Amino acid sequence: MEAWRRQLDDPVSAFPIAKAGPAHIATLKTYDPPLSALEGRRLAGVRRRAKRLLFATEDGELVLLVHLMTAGRLKHLRAGEKGPKTPAFQLEFEGGSRLVLTEAGAKKRAGVWLLTPEAAGAELEHLGPEANELNAKRLGEILAADNRRLHSLLRDQRALAGIGRAWANEILHTAQLSPFALSSQLDEAEIARLAGAIDSELARGLFLRERGAGDKQVYRVHNRLGEPCHVCETPLARVDYEEHTVYYCPKCQTGGRTLKDRRLSRLLR
């Protein structure tokens, strides 16, 4: 998300908006103020909050909030550059450049909200601190405040914002911690490792994404069942947990133990 933000920051603020829309009915989540309220205004650039991109108008009166979910893509097209036939959402700038939101697949999950700054603030209030801005002390407080399995806690945007399921896998592998370890039971060294892994993995992801790397190049653990661990060469394992599939190295992270699908073991007990 941070890589997207950096790419879009300059081009979207270069010209005022000439036309806002069209928007797919499932994508645009608000109707008041209307999209046309954006026309004639200039954006102040892009900010990011967790997985949301925020485009505030320069006059400070409106905020366009975009949540890409998993399949949404935002692209800036120069004047005359070919784009998708039916974008889920589009902003056209004076001079003819465009910001387009597309979404692969039939299901429209990505969302666009046009909000007042107050409403945007309320929308974002429940988010935890940004994961890439935490130190070990603050992370320790978050872990102690909410005793849960690490994979679940890392993904919870209310606890800390900006980590999805794939990065939770990458981070826990780098930190050499079990996805099922309980957050309040980490010792100081483990908390420091986790804080270091959050920083180094998110930075690594940003570095690669900015150079156009795809999932296969970025993820070393996520979605790599049976492939050798890049540290110890043990085949990577996976376990279903909550609604997610968790990938991990049984040697680096769980001391040789295989994690059990807890939903199933509960049923069989």
Please give the residue ranges that form the binding site for Zn ion (CB under 5 A).
229, 231-232, 234, 249, 251-252
The CB-of-228 to Zn ion minimum distance in angstroms stands at: 8
The CB-of-92 to Zn ion minimum distance in angstroms stands at: 49
If the CB atoms of residues 157 and 234 are measured against Zn ion, the closer one turns out to be 234
The CB-of-176 to Zn ion minimum distance in angstroms stands at: 8
Q: Which residues pair with 65 in a beta bridge?
A: 54, 113
Q: Which of 155, 151, 159 is nearest to 128 (CA)?
A: 159
The CB-of-235 to Zn ion minimum distance in angstroms stands at: 9
Q: Which residue is nearest to Zn ion (CB)?
A: 229
If the CB atoms of residues 60 and 255 are measured against Zn ion, the closer one turns out to be 255
If the CB atoms of residues 223 and 234 are measured against Zn ion, the closer one turns out to be 234
If the CB atoms of residues 155 and 173 are measured against Zn ion, the closer one turns out to be 173
If the CB atoms of residues 145 and 225 are measured against Zn ion, the closer one turns out to be 225
The CB-of-41 to Zn ion minimum distance in angstroms stands at: 52
CB-CB contact of 99 with 20 (8 Å): no
